[in-house]
């Protein structure tokens, strides 16, 4: 391609900030040097839009046919960031299928009505860190291809599969597996029995889990504050809670592996 950008293309890339357009076009945007470099080998790339200075320093021959050059002002018109970066990649939204055996042999994260893009991106990133391959989201959870989510994953979106579905139907389908729900009324996570496989549910930032998911949870877990009965914050941020919870699941696996 290796051409200069047009006004129509600038408007098109800018329009991908809207979920409806992303769904209609079947593509999404990654922006910034680290984000683009962490993802361009994992998704089918439609185009890379960059300044000539950026490409001379960071590009490589494998993307020569997809590069479109733009100046700083044009990058600002397309950018979804407060301060425009020097590179934007447009990728196809992948069609990812989750295999039943992967679900049954792994730890799966379930997210119900998570609204903050930063929280979703953080959870995807920590799942990548802890080897959780599958995340199941309610239909009302923020769009995984929202640019703020993509930025927050720091490239982890390339390796973690995020699927939107009816969570009640999902958990009923796998009702023979361990299902953990996070709740302020649950058992102390450090004293509870934890399985290396199953589902762990994290609810909405303000309301927690809905009643149907509470009822489908076989074990409720809570992260205790310290010291016991001390006056503390009302609750933890869902991203922090997910990190502590999944970290404890993985710690148990490591302990059992070492025979501790």
Give pLDDT tens digits along the chain (260 positions): 457 899 999 999 999 999 999 999 999 999 999 999 999 889 999 999 999 999 889 876 577 678 999 999 999 999 999 899 999 999 999 988 889 999 999 999 999 999 999 999 999 999 999 999 999 999 999 999 999 999 999 899 999 999 999 999 999 999 999 999 999 999 999 999 999 999 999 999 999 999 999 999 999 999 999 887 777 787 899 999 999 999 999 999 888 776 55
220-259 burial by CB neighbour count: b if 16+ within 10 A, else e? bbbbeeeeeeeeeeeebebbebbbebbeebbebbeeeeee
Residues 42 and 157 in one domain: no
Residues 128 and 228 in one domain: yes
Q: How many domains does the chain have?
A: 2
CB atoms < 10 A from the CB of 88, how many? 26
DSSP state of 94: P
Residues 141 and 62 in one domain: no
Residues 130 and 162 in one domain: yes
Residues 84 and 110 in one domain: no
Among the three residues 92, 109, 137, which one is the final residue of a domain in this structure?
A: 92
> Strands across the sheet with 161-164, in order?
161-164, 134-137, 107-111, 198-202, 179-188, 219-222
Cross-strand partners of 200: 109, 180
Residues 6+ apart with CB under 8 A from 176: none
Residues 47 and 175 in one domain: no
The parent domain of residue 73 ranges over: 3-92
Residues 6+ apart with CB under 8 A from 94: 43, 44
């Amino acid at each position: 391609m290796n051409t200069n950008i047009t006004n129509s293309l600038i408007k098109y890339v800018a329009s991908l900030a809207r979920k409806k357009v992303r769904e209609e076009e079947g593509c999404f945007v990654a922006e910034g040097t680290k984000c683009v470099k962490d993802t361009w080998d994992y998704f089918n790339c439609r185009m890379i839009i960059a300044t000539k200075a950026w490409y001379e320093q960071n590009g490589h021959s494998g993307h020569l046919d997809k590069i479109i050059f733009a100046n700083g002002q044009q990058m600002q018109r397309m950018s979804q960031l407060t301060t425009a970066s020097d590179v934007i990649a447009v990728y196809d939204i992948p069609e990812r299928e989750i295999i039943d055996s992967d679900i049954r042999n792994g730890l799966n994260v379930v997210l119900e009505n998570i609204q903050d893009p930063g929280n979703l991106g953080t959870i995807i990133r920590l799942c990548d860190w802890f080897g959780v391959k599958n995340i199941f989201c309610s239909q009302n959870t923020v769009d995984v291809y929202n640019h703020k989510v993509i930025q927050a994953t720091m490239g982890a979106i390339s390796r973690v599969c995020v699927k939107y579905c009816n969570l009640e139907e999902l958990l009923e389908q796998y009702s023979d597996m361990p299902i953990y729900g996070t709740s302020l009324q649950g058992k102390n996570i450090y004293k509870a029995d934890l399985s290396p496989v199953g589902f762990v549910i994290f609810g909405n930032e303000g309301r927690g889990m809905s009643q149907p998911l509470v009822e489908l949870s076989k074990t409720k877990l809570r992260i205790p504050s310290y010291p016991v009965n001390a006056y503390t914050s009302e609750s933890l941020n869902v991203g922090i809670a997910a990190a502590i919870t999944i970290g404890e699941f993985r710690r148990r696996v490591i302990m059992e592996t070492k025979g501790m």
